[in-house]
Structures are given as C-alpha cells and as structure tokens.
A and B are shown apart, each in its own frame.
Chain A
Amino acid sequence: MTAYLYIESRDPFDSADSRYFPDLVKGTRERGHKTTLFLVQNGVLPARKGSQFSDRFRELAEAGITIYADDFSLAERAIGAADTDSHVQSAGMDRLLDLLLEPDTKAVWH
C-alpha cells in the first residue's frame, strides 16, 4: 500500500489553508496508508509547546501518524527540544531523505 509523506512548510497563523491540511493527513491515515507529516520552515511554528495546535498534533499522533519537525527550522525559530510539542520529533534532512526514498511513497509539499 502506498505511503504518504506530507511536508508542511506553511505557518497556520498566516495561511488559513494550513488549518485544513491536517484533515487531509488524517484522512489518508484513516484509509489505511502509512502517513507521515514533516514540518519545515514556518510550518514548524505551531510545534512550539503550548500552541493552540497542540490538540491537533495529539490527534494526529493518536491516529498513528508520525510527525517530524525540521531541526534547522526549529533552531532558526528558537524552538529548542524542551520547547517542542511532545508529539513532534525533531529530525534533519537525513530523515526526510530516508522517507522520500522509501519505496511506494508519494510526497506532497504544501
């Protein structure tokens, strides 16, 4: 079965359509696909612990979706390990590349 890698680069505080993107991610998972969400650039901003999007990350994680946030983007925005939502794992380009190159994976950049 196809795996889906969703890459979110947009800040939900700035881009209203980012509020619907998690629905797509969760819907893919509910259809039985392995699903990963990788936050990058301003897409990492909601991963700051205590943000209004914490419940959304918890909901996605409980649905079986692995959530990563780009370590470089986190560092640029002064979001340290202690400041990162507990459902979000810090990861680098090495992890993103591994995910991209997994067989039968479709990658979607938003």
Chain B
Amino acid sequence: MSKTLTLALMDAPYEKAASTTALRLIHEALSRGHNVNVFAYEGAVNLTMADQKPHANPVKGTSLEEEDHPTTKEWIGSLFELAENKGATLKWINCGLCVDERGAGNWIPGPVRGGPPHFVAFAKSSDATLVIPTK
C-alpha cells in the first residue's frame, strides 16, 4: 500500500552529505511507489536551480566529460521522472522568501513556490515526516 513521506531540507547543494542522504531516501521511497513531499527551505532552494553546470577538474586534469560531474538538478530531475514511471507523486515546494533572498528562482520543471504553511499541510497529510536541519 502506498504511503506518503514528507521531508524538510535546509542544506544548500555541494556542502553536506545530508543532501545526498535525503536524495537516496527519496529515491528509495519513490522506487517502492510511495509518494514524497519535499519542503526545501533556506539554502536547499538551490538544489533545483536550473543554472547549475558540471565542470572539468583542473586539479586532476580531467575534462568535463571525464569528470562527469553530477548536479543536484539532474538528480532531482531524475527523481521526478522516477515518480512518474512508478505512478507515485513527488511534490517539491521551494520556500518563496528563501528563493527571493537568493535570487534562485530559475528552477528545473517540477518544483513550485510555497511557504512554511505548506510544510505543515504536508506533515498533516503524511504517514511520516523527517526534518533534516542544518548543523
């Protein structure tokens, strides 16, 4: 039976392992056909920014292709695809004020703008809620 998991994320991409853990957990839930709600707060609104670009690594001397640098926008884009393929729902809300502060409004398709009341609504309608705070 399908259940619903809500996550609140706060960390900006490329800074903490918590972002990777969260995406792994979302992947697991969607793979099993569960629905997932994400409320991206503070720096986490940058996870879905469309302007992210992979890069070469001048320290190692690797090219763009050799480095094959992953971006969080690609990972999250693939999670939206996974949800569709599994018949599950991935709802992703970026905190609007956090977006405005950071000028981070150019997103990949999927996320929508919202605020803390949406997180409360997510939590009330979910089977489980996990808040992953910044340190």
A interface, CB within 8 angstroms of B: 7, 9-10, 15, 40-42, 70, 72-73, 92-94, 96-97, 100-101, 103, 105, 107, 109
Stretch at the interface among B41-49, B56-64, B124-132: B124-132
Q: What is the bound-complex CA distance between A70 and B17, given in angstroms?
A: 12
**A/B interface sample: 22 pairs, CB < 8 A:** A9-B18, A10-B135, A40-B21, A41-B17, A41-B18, A70-B21, A72-B24, A73-B17, A93-B24, A93-B28, A96-B25, A97-B25, A97-B28, A97-B29, A100-B5, A101-B34, A103-B127, A105-B128, A107-B128, A109-B130, A109-B132, A109-B133
In the bound complex, residues from chain A placing their C-beta under 8 Å from that of B27 are 93
Q: What is the bound-complex CA distance between A10 and B134, given in angstroms?
A: 11
Instruction: Indicate if the CB atoms of A107 and B129 lie closer than 8 Å.
Output: yes
In the bound complex, residues from chain B placing their C-beta under 8 Å from that of A94 are 28
Across the interface, A97 reaches (CB within 8 A) one of B17, B32, B131, B135, namely B32
Return the CB mask of B94-135 against A: 1 if under 8 Å, else 0.
Answer: 000000000000000000000000000000000111111101
User: In angstroms, how far is the closest chain B Cβ from the Cβ of A97?
Assistant: 5
Q: How many residues of B are in contact with the other chain, CB < 8 A?
A: 20
B interface, CB within 8 angstroms of A: 3, 5, 17-18, 21, 24-25, 27-29, 32, 34, 127-133, 135
